[in-house]
Structure 1
């Protein structure tokens, strides 16, 4: 069953007659249209791509490969063009993406639809939905897995060079620049996010930004970086020590390393995200570091660098991880005034366990 067919099956289960996708990654996943703006209207028997002049040629190229897909050009605004299609096709219950459609834009579309949006049974009615496409995206197909494997291999090659970048006297910004250059050399389209390089006490900030601070002997340095390869994101963190290790750093590093291994050992089809997270959290608590670990243990990877599943204490109940899911395992411990350690790898859930996609150092 192709992606559109699976999405249409989800619409039927949700008692929807159509859905308007406005989040670019969801549009790309469902229709293969790569555009920074636009909409995809998924109807029972056909799909309409709504774009402005910038993406008209690309959308037509996509439509040429699918007999059930047509293109609507937005002459004035995307929202007006979407409403024109909905009025013409007249579906009843129309889903919109609650997590991605701003309230102001939702209200505008309702206003343009007129009395139909207010409950007129003869016209389209907007229904806020959650995670219709995101649930589908969480389980990767064979092509996506092959792309993510290759991306992880390339990211690991960058990780293997980190000790040549993180040397005393270089500033955090200089090290970050070296990592970004290595990502380009490795074949990535661009970084998946702003590279994090945090040395000494700065490493106690989980999402520190690189500064002009120079790396010093006897300190740790946390590096978190990722790349986009053929549209798919990978993400990796390593914590190194510059020069001789201090006992405080070794204590943190060993505890996080143990937590990292415990979480990976828990990954298998059917495992609950909260249990995977809990495996890491229990190890750090045993080392007296429960309060030093404030974020989740992992997040999904794919067209976005943060997507489903969420490996955290607050993950949705009753939604186990499934074979084909790809996500990070990244426990950390952060002690203000001392520093922090995070170790992050990307894993693929396979029958019986998981495959660790990344390595390096």
Structure 2
């Protein structure tokens, strides 16, 4: 048995990060929107086939930009799942919105699209689907509801780069979208980072103003105006050129990274499938017509007690396994700034069963085999009792 701990996650490293960072330093554009930012923007707009993209310091920043763009006001309501990261809600709470939580589907851990309509009131302004584990929400239904009730759809695709819904990249289906390049994601910009996706042309000009602290600096850089000034509300949502340089090394290897992660994901799935058939665990579900990006691999155990024992066993065998979100509606802030619409049938129950296994681009074959061996040994001991 190895003495070294197998971590839950490691930031993706391709090999050219230091070289590109040095080039960025020499470029004279450290504050951002330099050559590497332009290369990243071009890559995303070509691959995502969207109207406009803007790099941001984080996915949180991108979501905050979305809340400003759709003019969230105090008293507005925003529908989303409770099973998500706090930034999904915070971005809208900061503008005074009330969050309306909707139960999830137990198969994908995504918002249950069939429960959204009954959560809509005269105060509802937007729907925020979260593509958990890089697996798409049922976007056709969500977009149809939004169209009928004249609501905005902001996709929280933090985990979804390179995933698709019926052939369409996640983040490009709603009016706006947000991605994360945090160090735990498939692609990173050196620790933190994000991307704002604009799919509705009406938001392009204002999004550039918001991102540049409420100024028309982008028009100044393009030579449209001879000086720039404060024209609207905004904040500092511009990442450094060093972040863009780090990220571009990953984009050059995007297909390679995606392929490796999917190989690891499929390896876990195939090796644990028999135990799933025996009813010992549940494996992730990928609906037909969806493609995912191998962002994470999780299993579901019987209950929270079984999960705790499993995590302890893995830790004792020097493998880091982790549960995920505590549902937001059960938190102190969640109860203050939001409400759960109707019954919590699956959100709490399913979240307490879920545990994630180590999965990262630079994971060695020997480490993945060892993790599988330890998992199988533990679960088989439960079957044979």
TM-score (norm 2): 0.25
Higher RCO by CA contacts (8 Å cutoff, separation 6 or greater) = 2
Instruction: Name whichever structure is richer in strand by fraction.
Output: 1
Q: Please tell me whether Structure 1 or Structure 2 has the larger radius of gyration of its CA atoms.
A: 1
Query: Normalised by the size of structure 1, how large is the TM-score?
Result: 0.26
